[in-house]
Amino acid sequence: MTTYSAVVTTGIYCRPGCGARPLAKNVLTFEHAAAAEAEGFRACLRCRPYRVAGPVTSDAPELVCRAVQLVIGGALDDGTEAALAERVGLSPRHLRRLFLQHLGASPDQLARSRRAHFARRLLDDTDLTVLDVAFASGFGSLRQFNRTMREVFRAAPSDLRERRRRADRLVADGGLPLRLPVLPGYDWDAVRGLLAARAVPGVEAVDGAVYRRTITVEGAPGVLELSPGDGGHLLLRAHLPYWEGLIHVVDRAARLAGTDVDPGPAVAELATDPVLGPLVRARPGLAVPGTWSALEVGVRALAGASGVRTVVQSLGTPVPGLPGGLTHTFPPASALTATALHDLGMPRADTIAALAKAADHPALGEGTSLSALEAVPGLAEGLRHDLAFRLGVRDAFPSTDPALRSALRRLGTPGATRWPALAAAHLLAAAGPGGQQ
């Protein structure tokens, strides 16, 4: 897990590996950058800790993890801590207490830190205007943006851009390229393999080391590309019609790649299991891949690869001229009606239509849980686990997945664990592409 060292005599915090060598008696340790900033420390200009992934530790309480995912999803962009607390079933005071205990920062402080760090990356890596950076990072106004950047980095955005290292910038050509921080040891090859095995044809594609997919932003099509980067990063290249809200596009891409959770505690436990141990030791950097939308996962699980291809080609929006087999954006929920699906001869059409009708249900978004998914009408237990697995619920185990069943028959059943989702990911990876639906 990434930790940050703050020096009380300088008021600066650093990431591991920084060349600074302060006296140990002057150093405080924080697990999250937001916690250091909440105590008044600013980011080091040498090691630039805002470039390091800082996911929530996977052994934090489930309620905290759910609330953090809601913050990442933008719950505090226009909302309040009180509204966030209500969504997770806690009082605002208790929610703040849990955040301060496990993260060292309040929900508002976490949201502010995330927006500021993302903006700093845009100032370093792109030629977007300062105004575009502000709105792409989720700030409501330029005044709010300037004030926050001064508080976090002790400098105005224009000053931060002037001091950036030009030799370290990416070339903004053919889309907006951004570094997506990953933890040391992260295994993109293994994650990419799981994404490829369950890709939605025409919407997602894997070509060599590159994963691509179409998305829709305010009704207009866009394309995201994920590929290996250097120095502990994936490279995300975004081809988007608008930059406003870019921070949430990047966050969803990070969840898709499984970079937003630290699997360290889970790996340590699973490595001791007789069945899972050899798999975990072979792929210690495997993460559970996420999804762009629960609806895509549900239709793919219910209709299979051939059925979802028919749905995409018939009801999705064509986007010509894209590389690697990308042809359409995934159809909106409003297009997946029972009538339209029956006309296509789609099996389980009524179930798919019911899922589409519930697509805006809060339980099908970030920060969900298996118990929350029980409130969504028409979801059988197997489908709940399929959805929860890709939505980041750590106790999900998609036992109806054919590849997983095949791996269990071949390798045996692992023992009880607090990390069923990561256990399932390792079993699915071991099953290989032959076991996919």
Model confidence pLDDT, tens digit, residues 284-304 = 999 999 999 999 999 999 999
pLDDT at position 245 is: 87
- pLDDT score of 246 more than 60: yes
Mean pLDDT along residues 328-342: 96
Mean pLDDT along residues 26-33: 87
Whole-angstrom Cα distance, residue 199 to residue 425?
A: 15
List the catalytic residues: 14, 401
* Complete DSSP assignment for 147-166: HHHHHHHSS-HHHHHHTS-G
Whole-angstrom Cα distance, residue 416 to residue 350?
A: 35
- pLDDT score of 272 more than 80: yes
Highest mean pLDDT among 173-177, 241-245, 313-317, 321-325: 313-317
C-beta separation of 391 from 379 below 8 A: no
pLDDT at position 396 is: 94
- Say which CATH architecture domain 1-125+127-169 belongs to: Orthogonal Bundle (1.10)
Model confidence pLDDT, tens digit, residues 114-154 = 899 999 989 988 889 999 999 999 998 999 999 999 988 88
- pLDDT score of 435 more than 50: no
pLDDT over 70 percentage in the chain? 93
What tokens appear for 53 in the block? 């992934």
Closest CA to 77 of 143, 144, 150, 126: 144
Which tops the pLDDT comparison, 168 or 241? 241
- Say which CATH architecture domain 176-435 belongs to: 2-Layer Sandwich (3.30)
Lowest average pLDDT, out of 69-73, 108-112, 344-348, goes to 69-73
pLDDT bin (cut points 50, 70, 90) of residue 433 is low
- pLDDT score of 398 more than 60: yes
pLDDT at position 436 is: 44
Whole-angstrom Cα distance, residue 427 to residue 437?
A: 15
Which tops the pLDDT comparison, 437 or 59? 59
Closest CA to 362 of 385, 329, 391: 391
Average pLDDT, the chain: 88
What tokens appear for 67 in the block? 């609330």
What's the distance, Cα to Cα, between the start and end of the chain in Å?
Answer: 34
As beta bridge partners, residue 180 has 234
pLDDT at position 53 is: 56
What tokens appear for 218 in the block? 């305010």
* Complete DSSP assignment for 84-128: HHHHHT--HHHHHHHHHHHTSS-HHHHHHHHHHHHHHHHHHH---
What tokens appear for 81 in the block? 């801590």
What tokens appear for 207 in the block? 């070509």
Whole-angstrom Cα distance, residue 83 to residue 373?
A: 20
Residue ranges of domains in the chain: 1-125+127-169, 176-435
Model confidence pLDDT, tens digit, residues 197-238 = 999 999 999 999 999 999 998 888 999 999 998 778 999 999
Phi/psi for 292 (5° steps) reads -75, -35
What tokens appear for 142 in the block? 């330029």
Whole-angstrom Cα distance, residue 369 to residue 364?
A: 9
Whole-angstrom Cα distance, residue 47 to residue 168?
A: 13
